């Protein structure tokens, strides 16, 4: 029989609280400890979900803890990953591993040696639509993937302060789709070309970032892919993927919340898209956690994003950054070596 | 090999001109003669499509004429039907046979004796969507029909003068759907109940007409059906039918012309419905004619509406009129006897 | 500042557990007590949500209880309503008040005298789509309602044992739509006509029930409405409402869960409807509770279904039952007197 | 008052016959002459539409001809363009001007000197959906274009023999979208990057062609665009364009013919796309002709594609060909010089 996994939550900010709620709601999880340098925040989260406050060291040293969920600030991910691995805990780590691909590579190498269950926060793999898209592909409904089209459009510009430490649009936003592309096609990106500009907020060009970008990629199989990204749309959060093969097209389309429509004169007005990314994807955090917990309980679970997935997606992002800056095509392999 | 059918067009008003264009365009039809009491109008139509003007008598007496298309004023239909039958012509007659069910019954009885190809203008049977709906039903895709929902909503109120001689909403507008219901289900209406009101144009209540109505029917098989009618919508022309059976639902949905959509804020605005009934159904006139011509050329053609279909639909309309007026359910059979 | 409302849950079966979860999740509610003749079930629910087990008497006599949520078996509703009112508690009562309209009238009369906050479980009013539909109507987007079309189609036949004590399709299933119709139009049903049959499960005809029915109604304003009901569809749970006025149509359409679509050959296959009513409407229970709690905290809340709403909807159902049985139109007023 | 324009049709193959039908149907056009090296084919077309057969020389020398429509084989376009200009005729010329950009530049330079009405066959500008998309953009509905996504997917692989003389996917297929991009944005392509492969029919790689390709472009304004092309889809003909600006998205979506849908179990199957490009775009030929005729009759007509438009689109195609071959970004200007 499945046993309850006792989790320590490391980090209790916005995304940490999302995870706290899911950990508390999961029937096979006990949210035992919450750690955060901001102890007042940790206390509030712990109180709300019946957990205790602890330091990271206490959490990692406690025998009563089976797993940690790392939801702390990005610069701490690498260190906490390594420490949790040394402590022998199962690990759910928010992406990215580290903004520096070099440092990410080093920590992954170390953590892999411990042979522990580790998953990296590419939660969008657990979106119901993308999951069915993957299923269609696996069942051969459209044949081999030949042409993949991905749209990744956020509704509202984040604050400039966020953008300055985000790693830029490729490493922060597009990275989810680099992972989805690999996961859906079970193939690797060979070549990438990117064009981008700071059209929505020109000032971010001063620190080398873009808010709008278009990318084309060729996979090792020869399949061709494209992705467009924008940081703000004016029409809600638009995320969709379609895959064309010789047998047709499988499509995970834009999602709109329920609502009423108005038929007037010669037009009909319907509810548009979800207002923001969080409303659109929040269920995927629970689904991802659930898959991880099932793995911890010994179920065979496929598609859980691991450390190597984290590295590969970052390598594509790195190549995209270089392509954007230098206006030439890049090989992903060259970046990974 | 198929031979050209030589047609005389009787009546060259609005709907007569629609037929003229289709007759001229059909590769296996020759539009030879046009007859109309308004000879100037007949001449203009004849000139445009390379035909000659004639009187009805000349048309019916001419050996060079194989078939007539009766598109004259409603009160002349019965007489022309009978005369054309006596002359041995194949007949395509616009609906209704006659606004009086009694007179319609008498003329049908006479015309049937001549055993000629006759079709009545229930052109909506030839709508591409309804045809595919029928196909789904015939292939058993949803099993036996149990629940039928029909929507018949015109966009703009006709002039009061038209309404006064139209026979009323049941005989003039709903009748197409009484025919579609019989054709789709291959079943007969047993009982009908109707409620209606003059909501769009209250003055038509003075001559006993309604502009908005809801109807429920039970078929001989026990299946249940409903229909709503309105004379003006404010959102275009809305015609649709869906059929539910144990295996699912088959649906001939509302049709919208192509156009661009706008995604703005939290809504999306798309092109709405066709602006009027004519734009929505005009292709069905050609399809109906084509089916009739194929029949004349000896092809097996199923689903062509005949004289009995004309009578049956009128009988349902008659029962609906009685139900509306007396606020009680009616048996269709009682009206037919 | 809003204070927490302390609730006792009376009844902890399927729907009681749905309410328990919502009570526990609501930030301004404390689920204090759970009462159920099946004390083991009560204990399990209480344990899961941090509440205590109690008898109904203990719950009603306790000063620590502000409100009760009646989710017990239908035959107990009337008695519990009256007892809770005598105890001065605010009341959220599942529908119906009582299957006997007479008894329901009597208990409503008594309970109203206590002038307490009472809401009856017409949770579908809180569906996001229907709410936006109502908003469109209130804002005059389509003008005065003239034609209302409602579809109420359950996916799977309930067990015969359930149907035998359900009160029949009108009182058990259609009743939600009688309430929605009144709420949306702010008008009363004047006349009703219904046709029905036991098409999906003929044996239920033995106890006078139907599983498929079509209804037409005229409102006091003259507006016309229709409703169709079926107990099993073969294509999921289909609930939708549209309203036509002079200015257009407002529509709360069928809802489909997210998923991927397949474009193959000449067709596209998309995710269909929710598999059952519960998945489609479960959020409305929380929204209804939330509106009630806001009312208890003194916020002005419109649209909460009250005792009179419960009676009126039952009266329409009663008239529909009579119309079905006698095959004639019925006045709702005649039933209410 | 508008006068009839007398046209000579040069070329009566597949697309010439499409033009013949439109010329014959247009109320302000007289299809006077048909010229084709295959005189039997010319005769058949002339007979069907009441025209005469002539040689090209006769047509150009005849005072009774106002305009020519060049629908002959691609290698003859340049020569006929020049000859028709020398003869002072108005010209509707199928695209491309010439497969060699150099030759096209030379002939355009010559023809422009005659200052005659000339339009090049970018008929997709006249698609009802794209037209409304353009209108939305012109009315500022979404603000300045920032991100353009274009899909150009043919349903069936043309014969290899056709592909060998087609100029390749960029010059033959994508070129329509290079024109649409310029027309919609009223901007020029600055930089282009392309990746492509022969995935559907690998043998076409032997003559340097691809059947699947993805392109990204940056416009002079900074806006970013993407286009994907495939020669065969397995799901019909898919053509669509969307434009994102700060104010939202305007979209000319995929178009599906009418038909019935099936709701079964947990899915719904609807009619998919038009089976081929011709069914999807055939009305645009008439609309393009109509705009040209209105121009000839002195109406102010905007958006008619001219010779410069022909050259510009070819230059983008040329840059795309170079980018595909060399796997690096190209400046369009460098190609045009």
Nearest chain D residue to A220 by CA distance is D197
Element (H, E) at C224: strand C224-230
Of the candidates A292, A293, A314, the one whose C-alpha atom is nearest the C-alpha of residue A119 is A292
Angle, CA of B269, B272 and B276, to the nearest 5°: 160
pLDDT in tens, A165-211: 999 999 999 999 999 999 999 999 999 999 999 999 999 999 999 99
Cβ <8 Å between D251 and B271: no
pLDDT at D1 over 60: no
Task: Give CA–CA dist D45/D26, Å, rounded.
Answer: 16
Q: Is A221 exposed, middle or buried (0-12, 13-18, 19+ CB in 10 A)?
A: middle
Does residue A119 contact residue A289 with C-beta atoms inside 8 Å? Answer: no
D324 CA: distance to closest CA in chain B (Å): 32
Please state which CATH class domain A127-280+311-336 belongs to: alpha beta
Q: Which residue has the tokens 């629970």?
A: A286
D30 - beta bridge partners? D6
Report the chain C residue with the minimal C-alpha distance to residue D267.
Answer: C272
- Indicate yes or no: CB of D265 within 8 angstroms of CB of B253: no
Q: Which residues in chain B touch residue D243, judged by CB atoms under 8 angstroms apart? A: none
Tell me: cis bond preceding C193? Omega within 30 of 0 counts: no
Q: What is the CA radius of gyration of chain A?
A: 20
Angstrom distance (rounded) from CA D157 to CA D164: 13
pLDDT at C25 over 90: no
Lowest mean pLDDT among A25-29, A151-155, B96-100, B169-173: A25-29
Please check the confidence at residue C3 and state whether its pLDDT lies above 60: yes
Residues B128, D249: C-beta atoms closer than 8 Å: no
Which chain A residues are within 8 Å of B275, Cβ to Cβ? 266
Counting every residue written for chain D, the total comes to 337
Of B247, B252, B271, the CB nearest to D264: B247
User: Coil, strand, or helix at residue A141?
Assistant: coil
Q: Which two tokens stand for residue C270?
A: 């998309």
Tokens of A253: 């389309």
Q: Is the pLDDT of residue A2 over 90?
A: no
The shortest C-alpha distance from A271 to chain C (Å) reads 9
* Whether A261 and C248 lie within 8 Å, measured CB to CB: no
> Of D2 and C8, which is predicted with more confidence?
C8
pLDDT at B1: 52
Q: Residue written as tokens 């009363």?
A: C188
Chain C closest-CA separation from residue D194 CA (Å): 26
Q: Which CATH architecture has domain B125-280+311-336?
A: 2-Layer Sandwich (3.30)
Of D235, D266, D267, the CB nearest to C263: D235
pLDDT at D337 over 80: no
How far apart are the C-alpha atoms of A24 and A49, rounded to whole Å?
6
* Residue A203 and residue A210 in contact, taking contact as beta carbons nearer than 8 Å: no
pLDDT at B326 over 70: yes
CB B213, CB B174: distance < 8 Å: yes
Percent of all residues in chain C with a pLDDT value above 90, rounded to a whole number: 94
**Whole-angstrom Cα distance, residue D217 to residue D25?**
40
For residue C299, the SS3 value is coil
| Cα A68 to Cα A87: distance, rounded to the nearest angstrom | 10
- Residue D192: list chain A partners with CB under 8 A: none
Alpha-carbon C170 to chain mean position? 13
- What count of CB pairs under 8 Å joins B to D? 78
Chain A closest-CA separation from residue C104 CA (Å): 34
Distance CA C251, CA C230 (A): 20
Instruction: Return the CATH class of domain A5-116.
Output: alpha beta
Percent of chain B with pLDDT over 70: 99
Measured in angstroms, the CA of B16 and the nearest CA of chain D are apart by 19
Average predicted confidence (pLDDT) for chain A: 96
Query: Searching chain D, which residue's CA lies closest to the CA of residue A141?
Result: D234
Residue A47 is predicted with a pLDDT of: 83
3-state secondary structure chain D: CCCCEEEEEECCCHHHHHHHHHHHHCCCEEEEEEECCCHHHHHHHHHHCCCEECCHHHHHHCCCCCEEEECCCHHHHHHHHHHHHHCCCEEEECCCCCCCHHHHHHHHHHHHCCCCCEEECCHHHHCHHHHHHHHHHHCCCCCCEEEEEEEEECCCCCCHHHHHCCCCHHHHHHHHHHHHHHHHHCCCEEEEEEEEECCCCHHHHHHCCCCEEEEEEEECCCCEEEEEEECCCCCCCEEEEEEEECCEEEEECCCCCCCCEEEECCEEEEECCCCCHHHHHHHHHHHHHHHHHHHHCCCCCCCCCCHHHHHHHHHHHHHHHHHHHHCCCEEHHHHHC
Question: What is each CA distance from D301 to A286, B287, D116, D241, D296, in whole angstroms?
Answer: 57, 35, 15, 23, 10
Instruction: Kindly tell me if the per-residue pLDDT of B319 is higher than 90.
Output: yes
The structure's pTM equals 0.95
Start-end of CATH 3.30.360.10 domains in chain C: 126-280+311-336
Mean pLDDT of all residues belonging to chain B: 96
Contacts of A263 in chain B (CB under 8 A): 235-236, 272-273
pLDDT for res B168: 97
By a Cβ cutoff of 8 Å, what residues of chain B touch chain A? Answer: 234-236, 256, 263-273, 275
pLDDT in tens, D61-107: 999 999 999 999 999 999 999 999 999 999 999 999 999 999 999 99
Chain B residues lying within 8 Å of C205, measured CB to CB: none
Share the mean pLDDT of chain D.
Answer: 96
Contact across the interface for A248 and C271, Cβ inside 8 Å = no
pLDDT of the residue at C337: 75
Could you report the per-residue pLDDT of A80-130, keeping only the tens digit for each? 999 999 999 999 999 999 999 999 999 999 999 999 999 999 999 999 999
Cis bond upstream, residue B275 (ω within 30): no
Question: What tens digit of pLDDT does each residue of C38-89 get?
Answer: 999 999 999 878 799 999 999 999 999 999 999 999 999 999 999 999 999 9
Tell whether the model's pLDDT for residue A27 goes beyond 90. no
Which residues of D lie inside 8 Å of A (Cβ-Cβ)? 142-143, 146-147, 149, 151, 153, 191, 193-197, 199-200, 212-218, 222-226, 228, 230, 232-235, 238, 244-249, 327-329
Q: Is residue A211 within 8 Å of residue D222, measured between CB atoms?
A: no
**C262: nearest CB among A141, A258, A260:** A141
Question: Which of D153, D224, D239, D266 best tests the A interface by mutation, with the highest count of A CBs <10 A?
Answer: D224
Name every chain B residue with its beta carbon within 8 A of the beta carbon of A268.
Answer: 235, 256, 269-273
DSSP C9-59: EE--SHHHHHHHHHHHH-TTEEEEEEE-SSHHHHHHHHHHTT-EE--HHHH
* B248/C235 Cβ within 8 A: yes
Per-residue pLDDT at B116? 98
From C256, C265, C273, residue closest to D272, measured CB to CB: C265
Average pLDDT over residues C253-268: 95
Which segments of chain B belong to CATH 3.40.50.720? 5-116
Average pLDDT over residues B233-258: 96
- pLDDT, residue D24, reads 86
**B25 to chain D: closest CA residue:** D25
Q: What is the pLDDT of residues B267-316, one digit of tens each?
A: 999 999 999 999 999 999 999 999 999 999 999 999 999 999 999 999 99
Average of per-residue pLDDT across D319-323 = 97
Burial (CB < 10 A; 0-12, 13-18, 19+), residue C308, is: exposed
Touching partners of C (3+ C-beta pairs < 8 Å):
A, B, D
Whether pLDDT at B83 is above 90? yes
Subunit partners of chain D (3 or more CB pairs within 8 A): A, B, C
Mean pLDDT, to the nearest integer, of B180-193?
Answer: 98
**pLDDT given at position B24:** 86
Question: What angle is formed at CA B259 by the lines to CA B258 and CA B260, rounded to 5 degrees?
Answer: 140
pLDDT tens digits, residue range C269-325?
A: 999 999 999 999 999 999 999 999 999 999 999 999 999 999 999 999 999 999 999
Distance CA A230, CA D225 (A): 12
**Which residues of chain D form CATH 3.30.360.10?**
125-278+311-336
State whether D199 and A228 contact (CB < 8 Å). no
> Which of D132, D230, D244 is the best mutation test for A, with the most CBs of A within 10 A?
D244
Q: How far is B113 from chain C (nearest CA, A)?
A: 39
pLDDT for residue B67 is more than 90: yes
Query: Which chains have at least 3 CB atom pairs separated by less than 8 Å from chain A?
Result: B, C, D
For C158-170, the pLDDT digits (tens) are 999 999 999 999 9
The verdict on a CB contact (< 8 Å) between C268 and D263 is no
Q: Which of A235, A256, A263 sits opposite B235 (nearest CB)?
A: A263
**CATH fold for the domain made of D125-278+311-336:** Dihydrodipicolinate Reductase; domain 2 (3.30.360)
Give me the CATH code for the C126-280+311-336 domain, please. Answer: 3.30.360.10
Contact partners, residue C331, CB within 8 Å, separation at least 6: C190, C191, C319
* Cβ neighbour number for residue B302 with a 10 Å cutoff: 8
Sheet with A90-93, strands from edge to edge, namely A52-53, A29-35, A5-10, A67-70, A90-93, A118-120
Q: For residue D253, give the nearest of B236, B276, C263 by alpha carbon.
A: C263
């Amino acid at each position: 029989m499945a046993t309850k996994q006792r989790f320590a939550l490391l980090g209790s900010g916005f995304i940490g609280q999302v995870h706290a709620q899911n950990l508390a709601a999961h029937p096979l999880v006990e949210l035992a400890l919450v750690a955060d340098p901001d102890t007042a925040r940790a206390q509030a989260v712990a109180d709300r979900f019946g957990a205790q406050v602890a330091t990271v060291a206490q959490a990692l040293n406690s025998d009563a803890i089976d797993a940690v969920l790392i939801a702390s600030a990005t610069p701490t991910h690498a260190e906490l990953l390594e420490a949790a691995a040394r402590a022998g805990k199962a690990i759910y780590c928010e992406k990215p591993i580290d903004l520096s691909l070099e440092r990410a590579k080093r920590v992954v190498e170390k953590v892999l040696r411990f042979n522990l269950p580790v998953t990296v926060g590419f939660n969008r793999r657990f979106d119901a639509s993308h999951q069915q898209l993957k299923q269609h592909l696996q069942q051969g409904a459209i044949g081999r993937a030949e042409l993949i089209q991905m749209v990744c459009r956020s509704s509202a510009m984040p604050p400039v302060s966020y953008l300055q430490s985000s790693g830029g649009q490729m490493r922060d936003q597009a990275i989810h789709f680099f992972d989805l592309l690999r996961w859906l096609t079970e193939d690797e990106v060979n070549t990438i070309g990117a064009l981008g500009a700071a059209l929505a907020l020109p000032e971010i060009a001063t620190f080398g970032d873009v808010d709008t970008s278009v990318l084309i990629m060729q996979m090792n199989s020869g399949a061709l892919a494209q992705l467009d990204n924008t940081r703000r749309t004016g029409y809600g959060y638009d995320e969709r993927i379609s895959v064309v093969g010789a047998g047709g097209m499988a499509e995970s389309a834009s999602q709109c919340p329920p609502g009423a429509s108005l038929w007037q004169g010669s037009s009909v007005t319907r509810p548009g898209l979800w207002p923001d990314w969080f409303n659109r994807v929040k269920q995927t955090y629970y689904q991802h956690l659930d898959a991880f917990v099932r793995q911890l309980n010994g179920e065979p679970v496929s598609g859980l994003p691991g450390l190597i997935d984290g590295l590969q997606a970052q390598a594509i992002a790195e190549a995209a950054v270089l392509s954007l800056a230098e206006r030439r095509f890049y090989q992903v392999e060259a970046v990974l070596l």
